[in-house]
A = this chain, B = another copy of it.
Amino acid sequence: MYKGENLSDTVRATGCYSDVVVLRHPEIGSSYEAAYYLDRLNQRIDNPTVAISGGDGIGEHPTQALLDIFTVFDQKKSLDNMTIALVGDLLHGRTVHSLAKLIAYYDAADVRLCLVSPENLRMPADITELVRSHGFKVYETDALQEIIADTDVIYWTRVQEERFADLEVYERIKDRYVMTPQVLAQTKPDAILLHPLPRKHEMGTREDHDIMDLDKRAIYFEQMENGMFVRMALLVKVLRGVYV
């Protein structure tokens, strides 16, 4: 788009050459715009094209949510009776937005969703409402200590500098939640720790990494490998009838 082209034309030009367009874009709603213009294009050309969101700014990241929930099921077999904690910047974190919504749609019993964030970076209310309206318990706090020992699934997130309009806000909260071997040791022996990667200081030092990586609770690399399998499956699904 550097030559002054706009998103709608870029997506259609790509769509003329391809079966699937996966779009990662910094603006909320860009995925919908892409899908709208591909629908229009598909009425004109021979080979229709599918749009997949690869993340739209601080909006959503649905394929990440799919691989996250797949990883939880792969490890825990069910969401029943689970206490799931999402930790960090829950306002700007698109992965946790999509994951919370996806959890809401599961038919699971006695699930408790703990949202741990600074007061000013809480999960958007429309998402917590959605989760509650599906019968899940939602508990919001800024105190990790309140929930760490009882949590089965801990989803750690990065505070991403580029999401903040005001860098002072970023600087004030970037070290608010840091996962270390000491923190991990407080979790249940069969808890699982997820992180969308890449990790930075919110996961401690290089030395902390080397220690935590050997802990069987730390499953972020398994989670990442699952990302490949889940996205492969998604491509098969949307291409079914085309090539597969």
CB-CB under 8 A for A4 and B200, given A16-B227, A209-B9, A227-B16: yes
Pairwise interchain contact A198-B5, C-beta atoms closer than 8 A: yes
Pairwise interchain contact A40-B213, C-beta atoms closer than 8 A: yes
From A43-51, A81-89, A139-147, A181-189, the one touching the partner chain is A43-51
In the assembled complex, how far is the CB of residue A234 from the closest CB belonging to chain B, in whole angstroms?
Answer: 15
When distances are taken between beta carbons in the complex, the residues of chain B under 8 Å from A9 are 197-199, 209
Which B-chain residue is minimally distant from A206 (CB atoms)? B6
Asked if A239 lies at the interface with its beta carbon under 8 angstroms from chain B, I say no
Asked if A221 lies at the interface with its beta carbon under 8 angstroms from chain B, I say yes
Asked if A41 lies at the interface with its beta carbon under 8 angstroms from chain B, I say yes
Pairwise interchain contact B47-A225, C-beta atoms closer than 8 A: yes
Asked if A92 lies at the interface with its beta carbon under 8 angstroms from chain B, I say no
Q: What 7 pairs across the A-B complex have the smallest Cβ distances?
A: A16-B224, A16-B225, A5-B198, A45-B225, A17-B228, A4-B200, A44-B221
CB-defined A-B contacts under 8 Å, sample of 15:
A3-B198, A5-B199, A5-B200, A13-B197, A13-B198, A13-B224, A16-B224, A16-B228, A17-B227, A17-B228, A40-B214, A41-B221, A44-B221, A45-B222, A47-B225
Please report A residues at the B interface, Cβ cutoff 8 Å.
Answer: 3-6, 8-10, 12-13, 16-17, 40-41, 44-47, 197-200, 206, 209, 213-214, 221-222, 224-225, 227-228
Q: Beyond A16-B227, A17-B225, A46-B225: 18 further Cβ-contacts under 8 Å?
A: A4-B200, A5-B199, A5-B200, A8-B206, A8-B209, A9-B197, A9-B199, A9-B209, A10-B198, A12-B224, A13-B197, A16-B221, A16-B224, A16-B228, A17-B227, A40-B213, A44-B222, A45-B222
